[in-house]
Amino acid sequence: MRYLSTIIVAFSVCSLVCYLTEAKLTSVIMADEETSEEAPVTSEAEGTEEAGSETTTEGETTAKGETSEEAHHGDEGPPLTPNVDLVIFTLITFALFALILAKFGWTPLNEGLKAREIGIRENIAAAETARLEAEKMLADHKQQLAATQDQVKEIIAEAHRDADEVRQKLMAAAQRDVEALRQRTLEDLDRAKNQAVKELFDNVTEQVAMATEHVLGRALQAEDQNRLIDEALAQLPAKG
C-alpha cells in the first residue's frame, strides 16, 4: 500500500509539471504568433502613408482595401506546426517519470509482489503440511481405534471365559455340596434307622423275655436272652 501511494504521488507531480509547462509554452507560442501578425500590418501601413502623399484619393482607397485584406489574411495565421521544445520537454518528463517509477515504484512493487507470492507459497506449503499431518493423525487414530477395539474384544472374550469358568466352578461346588448334603442325609437316615431298629429290637426283646418268663414261669438267663435276641435278629432281615 505504501509503494502504491508513492507511485500515485509521483505520477500526480509529473502530471502537474507537464500541465504547467504545457500551459506556459502555449502562452509563449500564442504571444509570439500575435507579435508576428502585428509586424506586417505595421510595415504595410507605413508604406501606404508614404505613398499617400504622391497618389490621389483613389490610391488611398486602394491602399486601405489592400491593408484590410492583408489584415484579414493575417487573422487566419500561419498553419500549426509541432513545437519541438514541447515535444522534447514532454519526452524528458516522461523519461524522468519512468526513471522515478522504476527506482522508487517498480522495484518496491515488484519486491512486494514477490514477497506476497512467497507468502502465498508458504501458506500453501503450510496448509499442505497441516493436511498431511492431519491425515497422519487420522490414520494413527484409526489404528489406535482398531487396536482398542481388538483389546475390547479380547477383554470381552476373556470375561466370557472367566464367567464360564466361574460358572463351571460354582456348578461343580454346588454339585459337591449337594452330594455331600445327600451323603449326610443318607447317613443321618441310616443312623436314625439303625437307632429305631435297635430301640425296636430292645423293646421286642424285652417283651419276648417277659412273655417267655411268664409262660415258662422262670426267669431267663443271660444266655437264653442272648440266644433269643440272635434268633430274632436273624429273622428280621429275612422279613425286611
Q: Which amino acid is at 55?
A: T
Q: Which three cell numbers stand for residue 2?
A: 505504501
> What confidence tens digit (pLDDT) does each residue in 46-56 have?
444 444 444 44
Q: How confident is the model at residue 16 (pLDDT cuts 50, 70, 90)?
A: low
Q: How confident is the model at residue 124 (pLDDT cuts 50, 70, 90)?
A: very high
Q: Mean pLDDT, the chain, as a whole number? A: 72
What's the mean pLDDT in 116-130?
A: 93
Q: Is the pLDDT of residue 45 over 70?
A: no
Overall pTM surpassing 0.75 (yes/no): no
CA dihedral 100, 101, 102, 105 (to 10 degrees): 120
Residue 105: count other Cβ atoms within 10 Å of its Cβ.
20
Q: Could you give the CA distance from residue 236 to residue 197 in angstroms, rounded to a whole number?
A: 10
* More confident of the two residues 131 and 30: 131
Q: Which three cell numbers stand for residue 29?
A: 507560442
Give residue for cell 469358568.
Answer: 165
Phi, psi of 66 (to 5 degrees): -65, -40
> What confidence tens digit (pLDDT) does each residue in 185-228 have?
998 888 888 888 888 777 777 777 676 666 665 555 666 667 76
Report the alpha-carbon angle 169-171-177, nearest 5: 100
Cβ atoms of residues 93 and 14 within 8 Å = yes
What's the mean pLDDT in 162-183?
A: 90
Helix (H) or strand (E) holding 219, with range, is none
Radius of gyration of the chain measured on its C-alpha atoms: 74
Q: For position 233, what pLDDT does the model report?
A: 66
Q: For position 55, what pLDDT does the model report?
A: 45
* More confident of the two residues 65 and 164: 164
Taking each continuous run of H as one helix and of E as one strand, the counts in the chain are: 5, 0
* More confident of the two residues 91 and 153: 153
What's the mean pLDDT in 142-166?
A: 90
Q: Is the pLDDT of residue 118 over 80?
A: yes
Q: Is the pLDDT of residue 75 over 60?
A: no
Q: Could you give the CA distance from residue 49 to residue 54 in angstroms, rounded to a whole number?
A: 9
Cβ atoms of residues 21 and 94 within 8 Å = no
